[in-house]
Amino acid sequence: MIGYATLGSNDLEKGAKFYDDFLGAFGGKRAFGMDRIIFWNDANGGAMLSLCIPYDEKTATPGNGNMLALAAESPEQVDAMYAKAIELGATDDGAPGARTDNFYGAYFRDLDGNKICCFKFT
């Protein structure tokens, strides 16, 4: 159902490098881009992630309550995704761990402050 989700950025080049390295470590790759937006996908052809300079050319700001959740293949991959994001300059917003009996997740903020969750239902 979801085709793609878009995150705003104030430095598209810096943000694109973050997502090239972060998503690339887990099978994602840059699909295509234009002057103000870049898209990534994975080998399965599922929903894409895009990063853009806002169309109205105003400052990109993360929304309160907005979050992008990226599915992992295992709790160990959640740990690896979180560690990679932190290594690339993301900030902690909730270390990896069980949140419920069947949900393992980790949370971080990307370079523009967008909240990202990596998760696995167990």
Q: Does residue 43 fall inside a structural domain?
A: yes
Tell me the sheet residues that pair with 36.
Answer: none
pLDDT digits (tens, 9 = 90+) for 15-32: 999 999 999 999 999 999
Q: Does residue 37 fall inside a structural domain?
A: yes
> pTM for this one?
0.92
Does residue 1 carry a pLDDT above 80?
no
Q: Which long-range contacts (CB under 8 A, 24 or more apart) does 27-33 make?
A: none
pLDDT of 65:
87
Residue carrying the six token digits 């390295």: 21
Mean pLDDT of the 39-49 span:
92
Q: Does residue 18 fall inside a structural domain?
A: yes
Q: Does residue 61 fall inside a structural domain?
A: no
Tell me the sheet residues that pair with 97.
Answer: 105
pLDDT of 45:
85
Q: Does residue 60 fall inside a structural domain?
A: no
Q: Does residue 90 fall inside a structural domain?
A: yes
* CATH number of the domain within which 109 lies: 3.10.180.10
Domain hosting residue 88, numbered range: 4-54+66-121
Indicate the number of domains in the chain: 1
Q: How confident is the model at residue 113 (pLDDT cuts 50, 70, 90)?
A: very high
